[in-house]
Structure 1
Amino acid sequence: MGRSRARSGPAEDLLIELDRDAGVPLHRQIEASIRAGIRAGRLRAGASLPPTRTLATGLGVSRGVVVEAYQQLVAEGYLASRPGGYTQVAASMPPAAASAGPVASVVRPVVRGAGVRVDFGYGRTDVSRFPRAAWLRSVRTVLTTTPNERFAYLDGRGVPELHDALCDYLNRVRGTSAVPGNMVICSGYGQGISLLIQVLVRRGARRIALEDPSSNDDARVVAGAAGLDVVGIPVGRDGVRVDALRRADADAVVLTPSHQWPTGGVLSAAARAEVIDWARRRGALVVEDDYDAEYRYDRSPVGAMQGLAPDHVVYCGTASKTLAPGLRLGWLVVPPRLVSEVAAAKVLADRGSPVIDQLAFADFLARGEFDRHLRRMRPVYRRRRDALLDALRTHLPDLEPAGIAAGQHVVAWLPPGLDETEVVAAAARHGLGIHGVGPYRIAGTGPGGLIFGYAILGETAIAEGVALLATAIREMRRV
């Protein structure tokens, strides 16, 4: 006679029920129960799970069954193994109903829905690798050495220590021409672009240009709400098409020139010069979103556009893709004529970003911890990128990967005959979360493609996800 279990203790806390007559391996049932608990919000990020031996005893199974379940969830990014042998929840997602989809939202990451086995959601970084010990040292240093006056209200630009540390880093690593007096600290890119749009509107701007396709939901939504016309500029293999930009009659353009999102194109030196010439002739502003330039694998560094024309380019950077989006740390390097206006908009928005976080990041940068963290993470992401490319070559060789040399995602263009929307829907039916390029097109036309975010997935989960996609596509082709 079959029986379901929901024993007291750890098994009851995790709401794990085992049906030994279901024909489903027990470790898969445990995986499904824990996965569902995380997605439903019952198990929050950082929550500790019972030791494998304890949970096995509570469920009446062998320890190996629980170990196998935990290992799979770690590979998928749901759990994280911690020093000392205990396991914690590494991903906490709201219920699927809380997500309204990518088009109207200014939140870039994909939300896991019910039944998703592997999620190739983009825009996420592996926060389980956050350098906690090094960050704690910086926080302790700040709390013990910072003068009292630093904890009072500051001007809208942020703390001078962070201006200095960021200028040193950006000029050295990204080739900017940044000076401390032209920097404004903000709460991530979303707030930064909002401040810039406010200033542009007050200065009489009428139209803003965005790359097409583009993930710049922040700019699109804020600009539209402010009354600006939003025009899409087509993107080719090497970034935005400058000839189309010239015809757009725009007062500003938002670009991702070092790694175009999502196509991965790099704006050539000649095209950069043309964009800057356009900005000078029109008196227009170039907003450079340098969102993931630190992660490169198969190419030489590409410097920031701001270093070529600091009077016409605003440089936007954040710690979201490199450390953790929850820090809400971003920065703008602004042309001198706009600094006071952007700083005033920041004061009006929130009176300034948290001082302790700014000072901690300044110390973290100055001690070289940021560089060390990036050196540790590049090979991690490269291995995941390589696993994705290997799986695509094995299972889906007729998909064409693009933008593979850098970043935390890959776009794969679909061959003729495969409809993007139908592929995404078929993938979902097989337990695969993935987005198409289509929802991020402003004009709504262009070739079909899929966006594979790999930053938080283990190599096993990546291979499983591509295999699921291949199965879905094979079934579509048989119909």
Structure 2
Amino acid sequence: MRESGATSLDLLLDLPARGPRRAGLEDALRAAVSGGRLAEGSRLPSSRSLAAQLGLSRNTVADAYAQLVAEGWLVARHGSATRVAAHGRAPSVSSAGSVPAKPAYDLTSGVPDVSAFPRTAWLRAARQALATAPNDTLDYPDPLGSPALRTELSAYLGRVRGVRAAPGHIVVCTGTTQAFFLLAKALGGGEMAVESHGLRYQRRVLEEGGGKLVPLAVDEDGADVSALGLQKGVVLTAAHQFPLGGALSPARRAEALAWARRTGGVVIEDDYDGEFRYDRRPVGALQGLDPERVAYVGTVSKTLAPGLRLGWIAAPPGLLRGVVRAKALSGGGAGVLDQLTLAAFMRGGGYDRHIRRSRLRYRRRRDALVAALDGRASVTGISAGLHALVPVDDEDAVIERGARAGLALHGLGTFGTPGGLVVGYARPPDHAYAGALRALRALL
């Protein structure tokens, strides 16, 4: 009888040349599990298959499996493959007053509600993309990225964000991390200005790309661009400053572009949370005011899911070649099938529908957050984005108390100067959000 795929697995085991064969097999399996080579939940070959691989009798293998099941190394259920049992799992709470191994409620920033990912619509777009893709799309990819996706991005970004970029000036990458690295490489190192409050990983990426960073103060009007000098570039979150929450004022937008034209510097626009606004009119992309001097960076990490690893750069003409060269040397970009799926998703209107639904969901969550803290704490930075600021006196102590209560939070000090909580209201699934707000209210 032919073995099924579930039972004809290969397994490399080093059996001793001498001694009882069954004992040697048991020892080899224990070593493979305890050493981590066979992870929790791993399927093992059937006794018939492993016996054939090792030159043993089937009964010898079956008896060894039975002994390890009795010892708790393996688990076996009737009609299912034998698997490695779970070992060494930590309890969710180790002792009274300690920090839970995994928080009950996660209000950290930077991630959307991944449980709301449009699986059905995405699967439909994936099937359509794969069914209609010409064979040559599976060859080595275009260095700029999928032409189909760049065409859709050009139209979408122009319509929704005011970006002026032809498909030939859009470079698809694996997210903002790769985008900043490519831009830093294309600029060739040297001084770069960054906002004093921002994402530390972004700064590390720019430094790895050769940039020497100069901080710019940030207030309610965004970054103070009047302090710019002879830097090669400046990174701005023009639509929604992270984490303080304001937008770059019209006067400072004009000043930043004037600086770029005067010095030859490049503005790198991180369109952080650009699609999510609630109490204000849409703020167009800075790039649309001067495509020659602004490199626009976007991603689906917060609109869809970070696990997709899809982002883009609308590159100025003077940087395009350098960005593409750096991308080729860094190992390329996202998989072509995911790019084609996103293109089909956008072309069919699925992306627009998902953004509209998400905007409504997150606005309701923001309103619930404000209502829950009414009278307990002020909440700022709420006109757009996926997080809010809650000022507190002793940031570290509040975060520590929250952690002991099973509530994960980011402090403002993580992104700049301490002084408050950066409460992300997008991450919890719908069924957990009310509990997260109750825990936050109790904490404050």
TM-score range, shorter chain: 0.7 to 0.9
Runs of 5+ unmatched residues, structure 1: 1-40, 44-93, 97-111, 474-479
Q: Is the partner of 2:235 in helix, strand or coil?
A: strand
Separation in structure 1 between the aligned mates of residue 111 and residue 197 of structure 2, nearest angstrom:
19
Q: Is the partner of 2:298 in helix, strand or coil?
A: strand
Q: Does 1:232 align with 2:210?
A: no
Q: Which amino acid aligns with 1:184?
A: V
Rg (Cα) greater in structure:
2
Q: State the partner residue of 2:203.
A: 220
Q: State the partner residue of 2:391.
A: 413
Structure 1 residues 279-318: aligned runs within 5 Å: 279-318=260-299
Q: Which amino acid aligns with 1:231?
A: V
Offset at residue 403 of structure 1 (A): 1.5
Offset at residue 427 of structure 1 (A): 2.2
Q: State the partner residue of 2:350.
A: 369
Separation in structure 1 between the aligned mates of residue 90 and residue 152 of structure 2, nearest angstrom:
40
Q: State the partner residue of 2:187.
A: 200
Q: Does 1:430 align with 2:405?
A: yes
The change in CA–CA distance for 1:465 and 1:121 in structure 2 (over 3 A counts) is: same
Q: Does 1:149 align with 2:133?
A: no
The change in CA–CA distance for 1:149 and 1:472 in structure 2 (over 3 A counts) is: closer
Q: Is the partner of 2:234 in helix, strand or coil?
A: strand
Separation in structure 2 between the aligned mates of residue 143 and residue 124 of structure 1, nearest angstrom:
28
Separation in structure 2 between the aligned mates of residue 158 and residue 255 of structure 1, nearest angstrom:
25
Q: State the partner residue of 1:253.
A: 234
Offset at residue 337 of structure 1 (A): 1.7
Contact 2:177 2:205 in 1 (8 A): no
Offset at residue 343 of structure 1 (A): 1.1
Separation in structure 1 between the aligned mates of residue 138 and residue 248 of structure 2, nearest angstrom:
42
Q: Which amino acid aligns with 1:131?
A: P
Q: Does 1:126 align with 2:110?
A: no
Q: State the partner residue of 1:176.
A: 163
Q: Which amino acid aligns with 2:196?
A: D
Separation in structure 2 between the aligned mates of residue 283 and residue 294 of structure 1, nearest angstrom:
29
Q: Which amino acid aligns with 1:434?
A: L
Q: Is the partner of 1:300 in helix, strand or coil?
A: coil
The change in CA–CA distance for 1:429 and 1:271 in structure 2 (over 3 A counts) is: same
Which stretch of the first structure deviates more once superposed, 385-394 or 424-433?
424-433
Q: Deviations over 1:257-281 (max 9, x none)?
A: 1010001101111110101111111
Q: Is the partner of 2:421 in helix, strand or coil?
A: strand
CA RMSD of aligned residues (A): 2.3
Separation in structure 2 between the aligned mates of residue 144 and residue 412 of structure 1, nearest angstrom:
49
Q: State the partner residue of 2:259.
A: 278
Offset at residue 250 of structure 1 (A): 2.1
Q: Does 1:440 align with 2:427?
A: no
Contact 1:384 1:457 in 2 (8 A): no
Q: Which amino acid aligns with 1:243?
A: S
Separation in structure 1 between the aligned mates of residue 310 and residue 209 of structure 2, nearest angstrom:
24
Q: Is the partner of 1:210 in helix, strand or coil?
A: strand
Contact 1:314 1:335 in 2 (8 A): yes
Q: Deviations over 1:144-193 (max 9, x none)?
A: 21111111112310111111110100000001111111110000111111
Contact 1:155 1:352 in 2 (8 A): no
| TM-score, normalised with respect to structure 2 | 0.75
Offset at residue 472 of structure 1 (A): 4.2
Q: Does 1:454 align with 2:425?
A: yes
Q: Which amino acid aligns with 1:306?
A: Q
Q: Is the partner of 1:401 in helix, strand or coil?
A: coil
Q: Deviations over 1:229-260 (max 9, x none)?
A: 2121111012111223x25x422111111010
Q: Is the partner of 2:346 in helix, strand or coil?
A: helix
Separation in structure 2 between the aligned mates of residue 113 and residue 151 of structure 1, nearest angstrom:
46
Separation in structure 2 between the aligned mates of residue 297 and residue 256 of structure 1, nearest angstrom:
17
Contact 1:387 1:459 in 2 (8 A): no
Q: Deviations over 1:283-313 (max 9, x none)?
A: 1111111121111111111100000010111
Contact 2:407 2:439 in 1 (8 A): yes
Contact 2:125 2:341 in 1 (8 A): yes
The change in CA–CA distance for 1:165 and 1:436 in structure 2 (over 3 A counts) is: same
Q: Is the partner of 2:344 in helix, strand or coil?
A: helix
| TM-score, normalised with respect to structure 1 | 0.69
Q: Does 1:210 align with 2:210?
A: no
Separation in structure 1 between the aligned mates of residue 366 and residue 425 of structure 2, nearest angstrom:
7
Q: State the partner residue of 1:89.
A: none
Offset at residue 348 of structure 1 (A): 1.6
Runs of 5+ unmatched residues, structure 2: 1-38, 42-88, 92-98
Separation in structure 2 between the aligned mates of residue 296 and residue 276 of structure 1, nearest angstrom:
24
Q: Which amino acid aligns with 1:413?
A: P
Q: Is the partner of 1:456 in helix, strand or coil?
A: coil
